[in-house]
Amino acid sequence: MPNNSEFLEKARNEANAAFDDHCKQWDLLQELAIPTIEDLTAWLTARDSFFKAQEKFENIVRQISEK
């Protein structure tokens, strides 16, 4: 069974990957003079994924620190 540090590392990696994707989508959006609704939706989807991954990571940090 994985230990706390393995859960934390996995969640951190997921949050980092989601942040990278969010930044990539933001950069793509900034290159467009007039973004389409699809462009905006892609960015919002990436942003939402990042927020969820970040929240998961933060919750694991809190759980570990409370022990």
- The pLDDT score that the predictor gives to residue 2 is 62
Tens-place pLDDT, residues 15-38:
999 999 999 999 999 999 999 999
d(CA 19, CA 16): 5
Task: Yes or no: say if 29 and 22 are a contact pair by the CB < 8 Å rule.
Answer: no
User: pLDDT digits over 33-67, tens only?
Assistant: 999 999 999 999 999 999 999 999 999 999 888 87
Question: What is the pTM (predicted TM-score) of this model?
Answer: 0.85
